[in-house]
Amino acid sequence: MADIIDGRAIARQLDEQTKADVDALVAAGHPAPGLTVILVGNDPASEVYVRRKIEACERVGIRSSEHRLPDTISQEALLTLIARLNVDPEVHGILCQVPLPAHIDTGKVLGAIVPEKDVDGFHPVNVGRLSTGTGGIVPCTPLGIMKLIHTVIDDLTGKDVVVIGKSNIVGKPVANLLLEEEATVTVTHIHTHGLPDIVRKADVIVAAAGAPRLVRGFWVKEGAVIIDVGITRVPGENGKTKLVGDVAFDEVQHAKAVTPVPGGVGPMTIACLLSNTVKAARAAYGVNTDVNSDIDRDSGHHTFTGSGSLPN
């Protein structure tokens, strides 16, 4: 049976470190880091995500604020708000929840957030820094994926890794992070031929295609490590629905370790958002930002729930 990589437990460890970093900043006389979330409209999923992020901020001592705007707001007005937040010294992280209404250019809005406060890591400057290995803020989900991988594999040098999906949010940035660690990376997409044969060679599989149960058991070699980024609601029993990932979980128990859905990558995304906010605050205060590495490679922090068991 495969070990289950408990994303909730690892996220709690990261939150503990983030809280310690916040406490250290406050003890040194600095204001607590501040994160501002912009929510346009009333998309139900976005409402849930924003609430979870605000609650997470409270747990670690980050000051949080919200700007809830009607879906009729003009792009100009939204950009004016962002410009004001860009120069607000009490705001260290700005997060504009997507999707945005159709009349607003999402790329232009996200690009208007200054790179230093872009805690999502989506600004072209941060994307460029990531692709060239020159620092910047790393996108939250890819950063969380790397931390999960490192609970199982300390050294990725020479490992064959297959990333399924080439999105700008997950696939491309995580591929860059893996390359920085000397892994041999193959990125696949919807037009890739012979996907099962490609995946079967992988020591590590990052499934981020948004296709439920795409990765079948016969695609996965014995002892591989699987990070399942996908999350899709599908029909379940008795007329109810359930959440599933991109991996046929029951079929991959011959793997070394696998993340569950839910309870794997999701909790790490929010934990990394908080960590990024503190990193941005430290930079703003001129405090050394290299004290703790972005990606934890400490082999002493392996966290599983045990063979074949799902976290509660």
Q: Which residues participate in catalysis according to the annotation?
A: 53, 97, 120
In contact, 144 and 153? CB cutoff 8 Å: no
User: For residues 62 and 64, what is the distance between their CA atoms, to the nearest angstrom?
Assistant: 6
Q: What is the residue type of 278?
A: V
How deeply is 191 buried, as exposed, middle or buried, from its count of CB atoms within 10 A (0-12, 13-18, 19+)?
exposed
User: For residues 45 and 53, what is the distance between their CA atoms, to the nearest angstrom?
Assistant: 13
